[in-house]
Structure 1
Amino acid sequence: MSIAEKLSQMGVTLPDAPAPAANYVPSVRSGDLLFVSGQVSSGADGLIKGRLGADMSVEDGAAAARACAISLLAQVRAACDGDIDRLDRVVKLTGFVNCTPEFGDMPAVVNGASDFLVEVLGEAGRHSRSAVGANLPFGVAVEIEGIFRLR
């Protein structure tokens, strides 16, 4: 099954790739690797804001991370001239979680993105990863950047 078919089966429609919010490009290709800039948590109603350990649950944070993964795939599709099936493998994710100093469950939050990518891509979705706490722009809950291998 193609990636596009799997997304459709899951009821996921990739949005248009979000435009950069500052002076950077959405992605850079080097050989068969695509480096995608950090994608902040957003959905149909706009930015997904919140702070883990204060006003947001781990489950809500994981949903925000899943939204970041959808934006990452939208950026990959845009970099591949609309052909998401050129994606061969997720290599690495770096997840940033807006959280209180006491919050320590960043990995469970970023699992929202990791689990989604494995569900869509199977073994090709398994990746190396970092998950850290940070103060994020615009008050968003999660930001995730990724490295992908293309066909």
Structure 2
Amino acid sequence: MYTTLLENIPMLFNDPTRDFVAGIIDAEGNLQILKKGSIRLVVVNTNVTILSAVRRVLADIGIEIAIRPYGKPKGNERQRYRVVIYGRGNVEKVLKVIPLQHPKFFSIPLFSSPSWGRKSGNERDPRPQLLPPPPGGGHIGGTAAV
């Protein structure tokens, strides 16, 4: 089984799936609500190939991102890189289209209700309604607000 996984890794880099990207975002990503009320999803990693796979899948769903160096390495650390998904609309799209599993993306009151509310009868509104940020901004997922 281990050999099979190793053989599939290059394939996932060359032809990444939404599930693969969901795993990367679940492990390495976080949501940040900025003081001005905007929201962004940030993914940091030392492997540019992994972030390039994330970029390709996001481009397929209409979200363009750049991979940029993040901070300076200290001691024997490797250079870190990050991608940032800006804007509520883009963050909503990622949360709806990429099958994220980590509770850090869903245990916060970003959306008005988990079912996204009823319109009339049994119809559901396919667009979640974001709640305003907490007073003074905030952060989710382990990094400080900017």
TM-score (norm 1): 0.30
Work out which of the two has the higher radius of gyration on C-alpha atoms and give 1 or 2.
2
User: Which one has more relative contact order, counting CA pairs under 8 Å at least 6 apart?
Assistant: 1
The structure in which a higher percent of residues are strand is: 1
